[in-house]
A = this chain, B = another copy of it.
Amino acid sequence: MENNASQDNPLTDDLPPLLRKFGYLQSLSPEEADLLLKMHASKKTIAKGKVLLRQDDIHKYCFIVTHGWAYRYSDLYDGSRQVINYYLPGDIISPFALVMPRVNYAVATISSVRVSIYKPEYLMELFATQPRLGLFYAWMLGREDSSMAEQIIRIGRRSAYQRAAHLLLELYHRLKIVGFTDHRSFYLPVTQSLLADTLGLSVVHMNRTLYRLRLENLIKIRSHKISLINIDRLKEIAEYKGTYLEQMKSLYEIEKELQKIKE
């Protein structure tokens, strides 16, 4: 494995999209780059529609998605299904594998998905030796926490119409952060059935809800490419605040505070 990750480093295009986006790669120390390379050493592409992790499986690996979509879900006895969250490029699947012996909720791919696979034990090394990367990891966890909180609010207290608008906005913004949007549109590889299972609706009503959004000229869908035509109006409808997606203390700020503590 390459050891010296210098300016023109071997952390290629295939690496965690978020690190790239946040401009962290430029400022990585050799040790940080080294650890990242180690954690991204093993890669794999999984075909679409495959179950990546099954409930009650033993947790052996963590994954970072670099391309494609996956989702975490639970199957219920009556045949219905609830999607808990989506994994988009940059997201970590099974971030708690180190301390949870078994998979609590299944994970499946939506599109073809490319992941970096690493042993959860590397996380110990990450936290112990590379605090900046540890903070970055923690930030990812915080973001997922917020994302799940939004999902709870969405399905707990919003109408179908609002839920749909809200979810579409969230997906749009998350994809935008990692550069997978094109103007106001993005590739949405999900079926309406999956959207329904995400928003706690029936397929029929999901269909009618999307129909209404199209009718009102808020969105446009053609062969899984969706355009958010009137984002402002969608935000109004959904009562959307995407603040949680952007906010992150700069590492500089955190380091400053840590200094204060030590004094």
Chain A interface residues (CB < 8 Å from chain B): 72, 74, 76-77, 80-84, 96, 98-102, 104-105, 119, 121-122, 124-125, 127-128, 131, 134-135, 138-139, 141-142, 144-146, 148-149, 151-153, 155-158, 197, 199-200, 239, 243-244, 247-249, 253-254, 257-258, 260-261
Q: Is the CB of A258 within 8 A of B153?
A: no
Closest chain-B Cβ to A213's Cβ sits at a distance in Å of: 20
A137 to B70: give the CA distance in the assembly, Å: 27
A105 to B253: give the CA distance in the assembly, Å: 22
Q: Is the CB of A99 within 8 A of B142?
A: yes
Closest chain-B Cβ to A173's Cβ sits at a distance in Å of: 15
Q: List 6 A-B contacts (CB under 8 A).
A: A74-B149, A84-B152, A96-B142, A98-B138, A124-B258, A155-B200
Q: Is the CB of B149 within 8 A of A72?
A: yes
A80 to B158: give the CA distance in the assembly, Å: 10
Q: List the 10 closest A-B pairs by CB distance, nearest first.
A: A96-B142, A156-B200, A99-B139, A82-B156, A127-B127, A82-B157, A121-B261, A82-B153, A148-B148, A84-B149
